[in-house]
Amino acid sequence: MSHFAQLDENNIVIRVLVGDNKAPDEGYSYFVETYGGTWVQTSFNGRIRKNYAGIGYIYDEIRDAFISPKPYPSWDLNEDTCQWEAPEPYPTDGIYTWNENELSWDAAKLPTE
């Protein structure tokens, strides 16, 4: 099976569908003929276009990559992976949430049993 993302006029993903790939471009042709618009192939394993497309992602033609929406203003895009990175590395000793006001990771408050 092959996966394709439909893009709007701003290269934002509006849907991702699974197609048949028994013949070259079979899934792509079906989506274009059935739904019209612009379609770009995506991949679960990241072998093409760096990241699997999701609704709201942007397809960057220059990087040939799908990029998720920026989660926080302070995060920067890693040009190699096309993934957003916090200004501080994620701690390795627990579960944390990002605190944008403090620009730091806060220990997650887990529900008590």
Domain identity same for 61 and 35: yes
- Residues of the chain with pLDDT > 90: what percent? 73
Domain identity same for 11 and 61: yes
Give yes or no for residue 113 having a pLDDT over 50: no
pTM score of the predicted model: 0.85
Segments forming the whole domain that contains residue 54: 2-69
Domain identity same for 6 and 60: yes
Domain identity same for 46 and 33: yes
Domain identity same for 102 and 89: yes
Give yes or no for residue 29 having a pLDDT over 70: yes
Q: Mean pLDDT, the chain, as a whole number?
A: 91
Domain identity same for 74 and 95: yes
**Which carries the bigger pLDDT value, residue 28 or residue 24?**
28
Domain identity same for 47 and 102: no
Give yes or no for residue 17 having a pLDDT over 80: yes
Within 13 Å and on the Cβ side, how many CA atoms surround 39?
22
Domain identity same for 14 and 64: yes
Tell me the three state secondary structure of residue 101. coil
Give yes or no for residue 24 having a pLDDT over 60: no
Is residue 22 very low, low, confident or very high in pLDDT (cuts 50, 70, 90)?
low
Output the CA–CA distances (angstroms, integers) from residue 41 to 11, 93, 97, in the order listed: 13, 37, 32
